[in-house]
Structure 1
Amino acid sequence: MKRILSIAALAAALPFAANAAEGLSYTYIEGGYSASKADIAPVNRDVDSDGWSIRGAAAFHPNFHAFGDYTRESIDNVHRDRDQWRLGLGYNHELSPNTDLLTRVAYQSIDFGQGLDADGYAVEVGARSALLPALEGYALVGYEDYDRGIDSEFYGRLGAQWKFNPNVGVAGDVKLIKGGDVQWFVGPRLSW
């Protein structure tokens, strides 16, 4: 009986025993330019906006990390800003020496000012891979749900980073939301 329990405990711990794939860091900070094209459901109109974002993550276990980001964009032709932030937890599991399975959950908030705001959550799953020594990329699919009349949608997220050295690179990300909404980001990243 003790042997069966030992084997069961070992099998249960295996998903947590792997480290991040080689060349992938889950501790970083990045900032840069962001832009969005979105249909704001409560007022039913298309809006374009651009501004800046700051993002980061911190690994606190070989397979777990906390992450967050903040975006502030000015909406074109309107004296209003879009503030958006999220905080979450991620889990990475090595699938191969260069590729991780990545799952993330986050609490998020969006605020257009004048009482037009919403809170919600997002879940995403996909893969992150060191494609070349200086290039990594990821592809995620996700679902986000907001309150206050903003549509809940599925989305895809594609991103890449070109590394100048192990600690400094340039990152880019595009989020394609069902219904045609698009959010993108580009900027420098510092990893350690």
Structure 2
Amino acid sequence: MRKLLIIASLLAVAPLASAAEGLSYTYVEGGWTQVKTDDSDFNDPKLDGGYVRGSFALAEQVHVFGSWSRTSKSYHFTGASAKFELDQPELGIGYHMPWTDRLDYTADIAWVRQNAELTVKSDLFGREHLKDHTNLARATMGVRGKPSPKTEAWAKAGYMDGGNDFKGTWVGTVGGQINFTPTWSLVGEVSGQRDVTQFSAGVRASF
């Protein structure tokens, strides 16, 4: 009887251990982000801020995701100041297919909106506020896997277009994750498109 209980316990724990080592497509995360633009006229500005991101598995191979980031940079001159702010919400749906026990093929499509605001204050002209936005569509394909039980990495590439308001461009993303527990981990990611690079680092809770 004791041997049967031990075997039953091991069989009950085995699926849980396997799931802990797998890839989770249900998570929430947040942290610091920076948007860097290659523009020599403005001394390659860097906008710092924060972001939140989440994903939810709708089915075995389908998930929905969303994110929002807000970054800003301030400039100070004699008798004047300026602040540039960039909001970027995103909503999308993704598909994943296992290639091996530790590697998934991924594909997704998303709507991305870029909201830009410029506020200028001067002693001569007072306060001026300008706003603009662009709606974009993005599609990417890539891979996501676990080099080890405590680490994860992903890479994807694709195309983003905004019609007449934004000329189409290739995009790419690479990222990684280090797990401290089955739930909590540190994440880092770098995304690039044309002359813009975005860095992010944060904490993720997977379910």
Task: Return the offset for 1:22.
Answer: 5.2
The equivalent residue for 1:56 is 54
C-alpha distance in structure 1 between counterparts of 2:59 and 2:20, whole Å: 14
Letter in 2 for 1:27: T
Counterparts of 1:142-181 in structure 2, within 5 Å, are 142-147=158-163, 149-178=165-194, 180-181=195-196
Instruction: Specify the structure having the higher radius of gyration (Cα).
Output: 2
CA positional deviation for 1:21: 11
Deviation at 1:47, TM superposition (A): 3.1
Q: CA RMSD in A?
A: 2.0
- Per the TM alignment, residue 148 of structure 1 is displaced from its structure 2 partner at its CA by 5.5
Shift of 1:156: 1.3
Seen in structure 2, the aligned counterparts of structure 1 residues 119 and 29 have a Cα distance that, compared at 3 Å, is same
1:125 corresponds, among 137, 141, 154, to 141
Q: CA deviation at 1:140?
A: 0.3
Equivalent position SS for 1:61: coil
* Distance (Å, rounded) in 2 between the aligned partners of 1:147 and 1:79: 28
Aligned counterpart, 1:189: 204
- Give the residue type in structure 2 aligned to 1:83: D
Instruction: Report if aligned partners of 1:118, 1:148 keep a CA contact under 8 Å in 2.
Output: no
Aligned residues: 169
Contact 1:107–1:121 under 8 Å retained in 2: yes
Contact map agreement 2:33 2:71 (CA 8 A) in 1: yes
**Which structure 2 residues correspond to residues 10-159 of structure 1 after superposition, within 5 A?**
23-38=22-37, 46-77=44-75, 78-113=82-117, 114-147=130-163, 149-159=165-175
Query: Contact between 1:56 and 1:67, CA under 8 Å: does it hold in 2?
Result: yes
Structure-1 separation of matches of 2:135 and 2:165: 11
CA distance in 1, matches of 2:48, 2:187: 17
Percent of residue pairs identical: 31
Q: Residue deviations 1:34-77, cap 9 Å, x none?
A: 0011258xxx8543201000000000101000000000001342
- Give the unaligned 5+ runs of structure 1: 1-19
Q: What is the TM-score of this pair, normalised by structure 1?
A: 0.82
Question: Does the Cα contact within 8 Å between 2:158 and 2:170 map onto a contact in 1?
Answer: yes
Amino acid at match of 2:93: L
CA–CA separation in structure 2 for the residues paired with 1:64 and 1:102? 10
Q: 1:21 to 1:100 in 2, by over 3 A?
A: farther
SS in 2 for 1:100: strand
Query: Is the Cα–Cα contact under 8 Å of residues 21 and 149 in structure 2 kept in the other structure?
Result: no
Cα distance, 1:143 vs structure 2: 0.9
For the 8 Å contact 2:96–2:104, the answer to whether it is kept is: yes
> Which moved further from structure 2: 114-123 or 157-166?
114-123
Question: 2: CA distance between counterparts of 1:27 and 1:76?
Answer: 36
Whichever residue aligns with residue 111 of structure 1, its letter is N
Q: Is the 8 A contact 1:108 1:120 kept in 2?
A: yes
Return the structure number with greater helix share: 2
Q: CA deviation at 1:190?
A: 0.3
Normalised by the length of structure 2, the TM-score is 0.76
